[in-house]
Structure formats: C-alpha cells, structure tokens
Structure 1
Amino acid sequence: MENINNSRLSIAPSNSAFLLIIGLITLILIRVFYVINQSSQPRSSTSKQKPLSTLIVLGSGGHTAEMINLLNVLPKNRFKPRYYIAAATDNMSLQKAQVLENSLLNEGGVDEVRSAQFMQIYRSREVGQSYITSVGTTLIALAHALWLMIKIRPHVILCNGPGTCIPLCVIAFIFKVFGIRWSYIFYVESIARVRRLSLSALLLYKLRMADQLFVQWPQLKSKYPRAHYVGRLM
C-alpha cells in the first residue's frame, strides 16, 4: 500500500508539469493568433505623429537601388532615427546609404545625418552555399539578429527582398508574441518579381509575419490575395 501511495505522489507532479506545459503552449498559440490578426488590421493615423525609429534592410544587387529610390520619397522626419543594415559580405550597400544620408546634409538637414546609423549582420546563406551548412550559419544569423533587435528596438522594419531580412523579421515577430516590442514589418517586393514572390517574400507571406506586403504587378495580387498591389514604385 505504501508503494502505491508513493507512486501516486510521484505521478501527480508529472501530471501538473504536463498540464502547465500544455497551458503555456495554449497561451502562446493564442498570442500568436492575436498578433497575426492585429498585424492584418489597417493602421489608424494620429494627428500628432511621432517619429518612428526605422530599420532598413539593404541587399546586394538591385535590392539596394530599389530601396534607395523608395527612401528618396519617404518623409525623413517621420521615419527617424534610421538604422541601415546589410550583410557582412556586402560592401556596397551601406556606402550607397551613406551617400543618401550625406545628400540630406548637403540640403541642410544636419539632424538627418545624426539620426542615421549603419550596421552589418551575418548572412544566413551565401549564394551557392549548401543547405546543410546553411543551418549553422542561419543559427548564427538569428543570434546576431537577436542582439541587433535588442539594441535597436525599431518601430518599423522596411525590407524588399534580401534574405538578410528574414532573421530580423523572425526576431521581430517573436518580440511581438512575447510583448517585448511591436515592430511593424513592411515588405516591398522587387519590381523584378512579376509572376511569383521571392523566397523572402513568400516566407513572410505564408508565415504571416509581415504587417503589409506590397507588390508592383497585378499578377502577384491575383496569386497572393493578402498582398497589396500599389503599382510601380521604382
């Protein structure tokens, strides 16, 4: 009888721990669905608009050129301070961003240059890298993205295609779920994407991590109904 009682006592804590885990998982799932639902809601503008700290993800090739064109029409006083991030192996993108910010200085906007910072992040996967070895580099990139997001804590994340944005968006989404920081993720698909989304856009679309995903071709809107068709931006 004593052995039976002891076994019952040992089972009880196990059941409690199991129920606690199930409860935590349930709460997290509820929070995830809440975040996804809130992210899909339209944003209301306030009369007194405060500056929004903005994280801008740059990518090699045409990604940075398109982003610079987009930033040229962005109200700089509304989106500041600005944090530019590019892959550690991308030596050109940050230089182009610095040229943009220096042009603001030439126009007399001294505060604009002071409100810009330039950073680099480890790339999740290099071009041609095998998927097996990319597992390790992706984990490193996620850890680096976590450190950057803790440091920056942006209100807005603006990206347009480079895979570098995925770890940052993942961390931003996790921060939303756990109530650490609500960063609005805006993804502008490249004009070069006519018939299907890029891998980065597809991941953010399928996982519902982007608050708004903009496309520049009506074919993409038809194929991905939750995207926002805005016509040609570049």
Structure 2
Amino acid sequence: MVNSNCCCLSNNDFPIIFLLLVVGIITIIIVRVIYIIYRRSKLLYTRSTKPLSTLIVLGSGGHTAEMLYLLAVLQKERFKPRYYVAAATDNMSLQKARVLEDSLVDKAGIDLVGTAHFMQIYRSREVGQSYITSIGTTLIAIAHALWLMVKMRPQVILCNGPGTCIPLCAIAFLLKVFGIRWSSIFYVESIARVRRLSLSGFLLYKLHMADQLFVQWPQLKMKYPRANYVGRLM
C-alpha cells in the first residue's frame, strides 16, 4: 500500500526553492565581499621570505615614466617574477620596461633571466571609438584579462592610472571573492591628478577594489579619506 501521507514537491515549490537558493548565494557573496574589504584594511605584509609574483600595469606617456620611477626603488629580489602588461597598441612602454630590466642585470652582475615577462592586453576602448562598438571590445578585453590573470596568478598588482588596469583589477577582485587567488592591489595615483582622482582611481576607490590607494597631493587625501597621502614621489 502506498502511503498517501508522503511529502512530495509540487511544481509550485520549485520557484520558492530557486529563489531561496539565489538569495543564499547572493548573501554568501556579500559576506565574502565584506570580509575582503575588512581584511584589506589590515597589514598586507607577509612574513614569508618567498618572493611575491608581481603584475605591473604600464600606460602610455607619463604613466609609464612614473611607474618606472617607482620600480627603481622596488626590492627586485622580493617582487619576482615581474609581469609587465601594456595595451596591445602600446609597444613603447614595454620597450622601456625591457631597458629597465636589462639595466638591473648589468648593475647586479648576476643572472636575472626569467624574472621579467612582458605581455600585452586588448584595450577596452580606443581613443575616439564609439561607446556602442566599445561594448564588444570591452567584453574581449575582460576575457583576455581573465586569461592573463589565470596565467600569471600574481600576488601583488601595481598600477598607476591607465584604463588597462581596470579589467585586470576587476578580475583579481572577483578571484578573491570566489577564493581562487588573493592578489593585493596597490594603486598610485598620477602626480598630474591634483584635485580629483582619475577615472581608474575613482573606480578602484569607490568599488573598494584597491587594497591600498596612494595619492601625491594633500587635497586628494581630504577629498578621498580612505586614500593614503605619500607626498610627491617624483
């Protein structure tokens, strides 16, 4: 005899279960994001003596000049391998980075071959490109950024303004949310930005994606209190 009191799910129950599942997933993601934002406010150093794989995002013109200036005082043995990434249309920045790395080999007098890698990434939007067509190129740039991040798996990301850094930082943040890879993002705003952050800096600041954001002018610190004022670096 079949028990007529058995509990069975009706078709009306599935939408409720699906809704509860979606709410549960969203809740977990929100809690994870809050945890990441909380943790990023803590000290980001590690006691491990192992080198930290580092992604360095280069931009055209003054962005690259400022970044190379910062790299001049970087502890090279501490941050390696170093992955230099520039826009696919920007060959000059990578050439300058190669010159820097070659000079390190000459000064150190030791073999540093294999500690520096040079890559290019598709741009989300070219200068003068329409916003409609930029939707497709943005999706391509995000997919390419995902592939690069999975390939490099950096522990540290250094950037200072080029829009190229946004897809990379967004992917890095999502990888942290899903517990796949923790990459600490350090953003140094350009010295040319005196009164307001650049679009890249503004997005990283407002979306809480940057672990540490540095500015070079005191008025920026007053306007964006979570930023770190370090004075002029150049």
Q: TM-score range by the shorter chain?
A: over 0.9
1:107-122 alignment, distance < 5 Å: 107-122=107-122
Would the aligned equivalents of 1:56 and 1:159 in 2 still touch at CA under 8 Å?
yes
SS class of match (2:11): helix
Distance 1:111 1:207 in 2: 41
1:49-100 superposed Cα distances (whole Å, 9 cap, x missing partner): 3210000000001000100000001010010000000000001000000000
One-letter code aligned to 2:178: F
Quote how far apart the aligned CAs of 1:15 are: 1.3
Quote how far apart the aligned CAs of 1:43 are: 2.4
SS class of match (2:194): coil
In structure 2, relative to structure 1, the CA distance for the partners of 1:26 and 1:89 (3 Å cut) is same
Other-structure match for 1:176: 176
SS class of match (2:24): helix
Distance 1:124 1:172 in 2: 17
Question: Mind listing any 5+ residue stretches in structure 1 that lack a counterpart?
Answer: 1-7
Other-structure match for 1:5: none
1:199-218 alignment, distance < 5 Å: 199-218=199-218
Would the aligned equivalents of 2:105 and 2:112 in 1 still touch at CA under 8 Å?
yes
Distance 2:219 2:16 in 1: 53
Pairs aligned (count): 227
In structure 2, relative to structure 1, the CA distance for the partners of 1:146 and 1:45 (3 Å cut) is closer
1:15-61 superposed Cα distances (whole Å, 9 cap, x missing partner): 11111111111111111111111112222452x43210000000001
One-letter code aligned to 1:203: L
Other-structure match for 1:4: none
In structure 2, relative to structure 1, the CA distance for the partners of 1:74 and 1:85 (3 Å cut) is same
Other-structure match for 2:19: 18
One-letter code aligned to 1:214: F
Query: Identity across aligned pairs (percent)?
Result: 73
Would the aligned equivalents of 1:158 and 1:186 in 2 still touch at CA under 8 Å?
yes
1:93-151 superposed Cα distances (whole Å, 9 cap, x missing partner): 00000000000111245443320000000001111222222111111100000000000
The answer to whether residue 216 in structure 2 is matched with residue 221 in structure 1 is no
Normalised by the length of structure 2, the TM-score is: 0.93
The answer to whether residue 66 in structure 2 is matched with residue 35 in structure 1 is no
Normalised by the length of structure 1, the TM-score is: 0.93
Quote how far apart the aligned CAs of 1:14 are: 2.1
Distance 1:55 1:44 in 2: 17
One-letter code aligned to 1:40: S
Segments of 4+ moved more than 3 angstroms: 108-111
Question: Mind listing any 5+ residue stretches in structure 2 that lack a counterpart?
Answer: 1-8
One-letter code aligned to 1:13: F
Other-structure match for 2:4: none
Would the aligned equivalents of 2:121 and 2:145 in 1 still touch at CA under 8 Å?
yes
SS class of match (2:162): coil
The answer to whether residue 10 in structure 2 is matched with residue 9 in structure 1 is yes
Distance 1:109 1:82 in 2: 19
One-letter code aligned to 2:97: A
Relative to total residues, which structure has the larger helix share, 1 or 2?
1
